[in-house]
Chains A and B, each alone.
Chain A
């Protein structure tokens, strides 16, 4: 009965099956490049000469910038402001003369602190300036650096978003319970069910089984889109699939239980919405579902350690990207601990009928 009711609900099908695919298409489109850094850079050359244009040429040849030039008669500050430029370089009038005289000269880099690329832009420009200095002073570099892929089957940037999106799908039972539980209480459907002799544990298990099949279906569709549209390549061995299934089952128990707890705490439709958003949105953004927390402040990283979804997403990443089985097993144990606690609380707080439990 639950499956048939579920597949008749357009919103349920959209959010559990098609929304993750939509996110995959979105993230895939944004991050399906070869992962190389690229940024916009406005340049004003107030000292046109062979040296200064050579410097601009080095910047262009690095393929790290899309360069836009403005005339030397333009007021660069006004231009930056009126065109919302976040990254600009001024080569001052005395640049060529100072370079020829080997006198220190400064390029001016205009940055927007809100632009996440500004730090990297500065470092790249600095490195190119160092190379230019070495050329001017005829210094040959003694030490260099080359890069190698950290793991055998080098993943693309888009591959790293797939575990997070699978993490998003595991929230489906939680979404479901947060809205179903208060609705069934309000409509007295639980009271109806209590009179049939159905046990509350049986009802919960039925929803767990139902969620398992919906999530597996959603994840298969997600992976198909990832593979076919964006060429995502994940570690899909028998071992990885088995670990994936174990984590999915634990995740369903965990998040369904959390959904029941949140649903029982909601007295009406207004509080349902508030409680749902308070739990879901911070968890999605702090567990690495959409964005990695590598550059986040330390206190946010600490908070993420207390969120069950973090370990779920980490486990998915270690299964499908890094094939790091010992870490996956550790995450399984941590997720199991969360599951036991949440499930026990859910069984305790969940009742058919307020008075006679």
Chain B
């Protein structure tokens, strides 16, 4: 049994299609990332799986159950850190956990939970006086009160500084080691690359590509990118040699499909005595692929 099964899911709001026939499965113990720009349909998809919205079409199973029909049973097995987590202003993390423990009939150790999310020292600080990162950690702690099998983490690091972001990543990595199934939505590609076992790139309600990050990079990898900074005008030379490039002032970006091609391009510059001020070679990353694929899809949709 999968932790989450999504088959041909559709969600429409009048004439607007927010989720357009998407399908994916999440294995137990897996971190699955839904990656996409703002407005792609990530949160809508997640809220349907959580049982907060009705699908227009398709089927969703959460731990083998319908998330709306079995909402009460599933509430004991899932945890949710929503996008823009908010809580009652004058409540401390410890009090909130105690409250959740009562409503969820949980016996979790509040101290261990706050230590896990690195919020123990702020256990008696009211919510409104916590920093952005601390508020997210409090939300994460609350989502773990019932020791869930499946965790939904919706854009957990949006608006946080790099240090706070890494703090949240550390916790998610810990939870992954505990064997929890995690559905992570994010528009930070670095986050998906680091945390996720599998990724689905979504835009305009459709999944463009899905798979392991390394597999996506391998499949859609277009090669290395040479970035050359020079005062010389290389336009004529590159056109003569049939080399495609992009130019930004005195910086040229050239794609090379393999290492041999990289060296032959460098040889051309050497043979033509081109003075190069700076040369970098970059492997195309998931971010580069994402930007390319999303841009391509938008171009296809427009045409």
Mark A residues whose CB is within 8 Å of B.
1, 4-6, 8-9, 187-189, 191-198, 202, 353, 355-356
B100 touches A (CB below 8 Å) = yes
Mark B residues whose CB is within 8 Å of A.
50-54, 68, 71-72, 75-76, 78, 80, 82, 84-92, 95-96, 98-100, 103-104, 126, 142, 146
Residue from the list B86, B87, B88, B100 in contact with A196, Cβ < 8 A: B100
Bound-complex Cα distance A173 to B83 (A): 30
Residues of A within 8 A of B85 (CB): 192
Residues of A within 8 A of B78 (CB): 195
Residue from the list A4, A6, A196, A356 in contact with B51, Cβ < 8 A: A356
Q: Secondary structure at chain A's binding surface: helix, strand, loop or mixed?
A: loop
Bound-complex Cα distance A207 to B85 (A): 23
Residues of B within 8 A of A353 (CB): 52
> Cβ of A4 and Cβ of B90 under 8 Å apart?
yes
Expressed in whole angstroms, the minimum distance between the Cβ of B64 and any Cβ of chain A is 19
Residue from the list A9, A189, A195 in contact with B90, Cβ < 8 A: A9
Closest to A12 in B: B90
Residues of A within 8 A of B75 (CB): 195-197
Bound-complex Cα distance A5 to B88 (A): 8
Bound-complex Cα distance A193 to B80 (A): 11
Q: How many A-B residue pairs have CB under 8 A?
A: 64
> Cβ of B52 and Cβ of A355 under 8 Å apart?
yes
> Cβ of A198 and Cβ of B80 under 8 Å apart?
no
Residues of A within 8 A of B50 (CB): 195
Bound-complex Cα distance A9 to B52 (A): 31
Residue from the list B51, B76, B96 in contact with A1, Cβ < 8 A: B96
Known: A195-B80, A197-B76. A1 touches B53 (CB 8 A): no
Between A and B, 17 residue pairs with Cβ closer than 8 Å are A1-B88, A4-B90, A4-B92, A6-B90, A8-B90, A8-B126, A188-B82, A188-B86, A192-B85, A194-B52, A196-B146, A197-B76, A197-B104, A202-B103, A353-B52, A355-B53, A356-B71
Residues of B within 8 A of A355 (CB): 52-54
> Cβ of A1 and Cβ of B95 under 8 Å apart?
yes
Residue from the list A1, A6, A193, A356 in contact with B98, Cβ < 8 A: A1
Residues of A within 8 A of B86 (CB): 187-189, 192
Known: A191-B52, A195-B78, A356-B68. A1 touches B87 (CB 8 A): no
Expressed in whole angstroms, the minimum distance between the Cβ of A298 and any Cβ of chain B is 47
> Cβ of B54 and Cβ of A1 under 8 Å apart?
no
Expressed in whole angstroms, the minimum distance between the Cβ of A294 and any Cβ of chain B is 43
Bound-complex Cα distance A9 to B96 (A): 16
Expressed in whole angstroms, the minimum distance between the Cβ of B47 and any Cβ of chain A is 9
